[in-house]
Structure 1
Amino acid sequence: MSPIRSATAALTSAVLATTLTACQFGAEEQDTSPIIVAADLELSGAGAPVGETYQRALELKAQQLNSSGALNGRRIELRVRDNRSDASESLRNVNDFGADAQVSAIIMGGCNECAVGAVGTIDDQRVPMVALAPADAIASPAMERRYVFKLAPNAPDSAEALAIELRRNQIREVGVLRSEDDFGLEGLTALQAALEKADIEVLSVGTVRATDTDVSNQVTSLIKDKPDALVLWTRAEQAGLAALAARKADFDGSLYFDASAAGNLFLGTTAQASENATLVFTQTMVIDDVIATTPAKAARRQWFQDYTARFGGYHGSSSFAADALQLIADAVLRSEGEPGKPNREGIRNVLETSQLDGLSGPIRLTPDNHSGLMPQALTTLVARNGRWRLAG
């Protein structure tokens, strides 16, 4: 064999050996499979107003993440189902999502009964879930809900913030209107404890169902005792109805809204009745009142502007859905799985130690605490001239 031919053969062998070695021992082929996130939302029935908000927020956030280049060549694909605000329908959806090996995680909407009812199935199927409903029983105790996480204001935090505002305004006696469900009862318990410490008396308590379109009887009963203020621990729709009923009945006391009563930025038909009402909620609701002095505040302002530009208004709860999708996307990218088959256990493990200065505020998840929104995320808002504004 000539020297030239010998050298060529040696070079070819070397290149082939290098290629084989790279295939066997080099970097793995990039995973470009879609990140499939399922969403069980209330798109019809009593919970539809907030369910539609979550769907809009998820679609907008998915579009932003997909165009950002931050997903390493992958894209988020949403699979959304309507649970009709019914826990049984929700459980069927969750069963189907969990059985689909392509689904990385599930986001559940604002239905407390739906999320609580799905806890056992979620853990049995070992599929990570982030709920946007506020009930404490969804994510606690954490050791018994390994795959279940929650991203919404917590009742004790909201109650404490309300108590501080009531005492600051020298309110001594209140009537409470709460939702007729487990979260309403949980809220009342937390509120009574916080008010007792603040030396504020609860004179009477009324309940309202999510489907109620007339709450005048409950409000009339509450104001008979002449409280200094009414605390409304209900959905936004019932809180607005209660404000209208209170003013129609010539109640001249103050109105205080729990975080669960947050809805649209602009108050619409309830604007006059809600004037000067107080709401405990996240700062993002009124981020246009805030100077963006940090990257996190700048991101919240951008989200507020993007959502408003897309949908013609802003709904306070939208940021929770966006943060849930961000947490899941981050967890998927940080966990190792086969292409097209997510590593659910790895995703769960990452979620359990996630920290995010999110659109809603600071979020911290730990093995002992699966409810991530920090108390510092809550602030005080006031209704002025038909919209919510930052207090002070």
Structure 2
Amino acid sequence: MAKPAIGRTQMTRRGVLVAAAGTLFTAACGADESNSPGPTTRGSEELIIGASLELTGPGAAHGVLQERALRITVDTLNEEGVPVGNLRRRIKMIYRDNGSRPETAAQQATELVGKEGVHALMGGIMAETSLEMLKVAQTEQVPFISLGSADGLVTPLAQRTYIYKLQPNAEDIARMMADLASGQNLRKLGVLYSGGAYGKAGIAALRKALGGALVADAQLPATGSNFNAAAQRVVDAKPDAIIIWAQAPDTGAAAQAVRGRSFGDQLIFDPGAVADDTLAGDNLNAVDKAYAIHPASLAGMSLTDTTMADLDRRDFIYRYIQKHGAFRGFAPYSSDAVRLIANAARLGRSVDRGRVRVYLENLITEGIAGSYDFQPIKHGGMTADSLAVFQVNGSAWIRIS
């Protein structure tokens, strides 16, 4: 396995990205307008963005947090508006609850494009809802930023030219898990993973990163099912630690199932575990001292933060605490999504869908959740050096590296 990651400094490339961002923004402004295919939406002094989010159903544990972050950021940006050409446009955000149903997300995407004339789309916390939305976005040539986690959302690139994603790539998370396990002398690993595109990407990345250290794996049944049988199959292999690659609320339920099978050793989560539900009720005892790989933004802010991105993050967290009482949980990808769209419109001096797409794929920037390095040959996700290791201590996620 790879060498230990605990204590390793991973911010060098991130600093380079931030320093280079201004240069690349300037270069992007000189792009040839002939490279901007796609229809121009009807005239407006607004930048219109449609969001289909999981505000109810299994994805609500993360969807509600994304809606909160999105509303805060839209309000912040609208205080001065977004300079686009010779206009300062307000962002008109249209929210829809897809109920965690892929077919509903697809229908909403169609209506947002056809009836509302949106300049861009975002949403799809779950991989399945994102996969349905991106079909509409690609067909209608509307920029779409997925809030979901599955590497297949942006590949093959030739069929995903209007599609971007923000969550970390599975291979980067898996590599950090392997480093963590090696550093903690955890030689045998078991894996419980969710079904669908999200879980498949995770287990594929883990098999590659862990190699012979992976001694057992099992797919979890659908949300709300009994996880005991899957947990027992992995526990029977007597691993030193069990990785749970799933999103809340499945993470807490899986942890309880593992502990119920008399497994007292280490648990390791991917970013999907980091939500209030995982630390609630009976879950808390099951996940105490568990590790998680997650964007470093989870640690909050520091008074020594001085870059523009740091100051934006501090302002966002302050506003979040003022409105919701505490800042914790899933990284605010939706906040970054709306900022990226606004930046692309600003740099392109237009809300034309094709121009927004062109400028999105040349953005290198540091957001609230982490850093992004989009290129014509790469449409996601977050850079690996945006990630950190956290551990559950009491009822909080504490950064340890």
Q: Normalising by structure 2, what TM-score?
A: 0.83
CA distance in 1, matches of 2:298, 2:52: 24
| Local SS of the residue matching 2:74 | helix
How do 1:44-83 residues align onto structure 2 when only pairs under 5 Å count?
A: 44-71=56-83, 73-83=88-98
- Larger deviation: 145-154 or 71-80? 71-80
Q: Which residue of 1 aligns with 2:145?
A: 130
Listed one character per residue, the Cα deviations across residues 9-61 of structure 1 (whole Å, up to 9, x for unaligned) are xxxxxxxxxxxxxxxxxxxxxx9712111001112221122111111111111
CA distance in 2, matches of 1:141, 1:344: 21
| Local SS of the residue matching 1:162 | helix
Q: Which residue of 2 aligns with 1:4?
A: none
1:364 aligns with 2:373: yes
Q: Which residue of 1 aligns with 2:387?
A: 378
C-alpha RMSD of matched pairs (Å): 2.1
How do 1:84-233 residues align onto structure 2 when only pairs under 5 Å count?
A: 84-100=99-115, 102-196=117-211, 200-212=212-224, 214-233=226-245
CA distance in 1, matches of 2:318, 2:116: 36
Q: Which residue of 2 aligns with 1:351?
A: 360
- Larger deviation: 183-192 or 269-278? 269-278
1:304 aligns with 2:326: no
Q: Normalising by structure 1, what TM-score?
A: 0.85
Q: What is the CA-CA distance between 1:290 and the residue it aligns to?
A: 8.3
Q: What is the CA-CA distance between 1:274 and the residue it aligns to?
A: 1.6
1:321 aligns with 2:334: yes
How do 1:3-18 residues align onto structure 2 when only pairs under 5 Å count?
A: none
How do 1:262-277 residues align onto structure 2 when only pairs under 5 Å count?
A: 262-264=274-276, 267-269=279-281, 270-277=283-290
CA distance in 2, matches of 1:315, 1:174: 28
CA distance in 2, matches of 1:354, 1:77: 22
CA distance in 2, matches of 1:160, 1:314: 27
Higher RCO (C-alpha under 8 Å, 6+ residues apart): 2
- Larger deviation: 366-375 or 293-302? 293-302
CA distance in 1, matches of 2:268, 2:322: 29
Paired residues of 1:40 and 1:107 also in contact (CA < 8 A): yes
Q: What is the CA-CA distance between 1:189 and the residue it aligns to?
A: 0.8
State which structure, 1 or 2, has the greater radius of gyration over its C-alpha atoms.
Answer: 1
Listed one character per residue, the Cα deviations across residues 190-217 of structure 1 (whole Å, up to 9, x for unaligned) are 1010011xxx522221222452254233
| 4+ runs deviating over 6 angstroms | none
Paired residues of 2:48 and 2:117 also in contact (CA < 8 A): yes
| Local SS of the residue matching 1:75 | strand
Q: Percent identity?
A: 28
CA distance in 1, matches of 2:124, 2:257: 29
1:243 aligns with 2:255: yes
Listed one character per residue, the Cα deviations across residues 221-256 of structure 1 (whole Å, up to 9, x for unaligned) are 321221100100001211112222333333111000
Mind listing any 5+ residue stretches in structure 2 that lack a counterpart? 1-42
Q: What is the CA-CA distance between 1:329 and the residue it aligns to?
A: 1.0
Which amino acid is 2:124 matched to? G
Paired residues of 1:57 and 1:318 also in contact (CA < 8 A): no
Paired residues of 1:140 and 1:369 also in contact (CA < 8 A): no
| Local SS of the residue matching 1:279 | strand
CA distance in 2, matches of 1:290, 1:162: 30
CA distance in 2, matches of 1:293, 1:352: 27
CA distance in 1, matches of 2:370, 2:137: 26
Which amino acid is 1:240 matched to? G
| Local SS of the residue matching 2:217 | strand
Which amino acid is 2:160 matched to? R
Q: Quick one: structure 1 residues 41 and 101, their matched pair in 2 at CA, closer, same or farther if it must change by over 3 Å?
A: closer
Which amino acid is 2:329 matched to? G
Which amino acid is 1:106 matched to? L
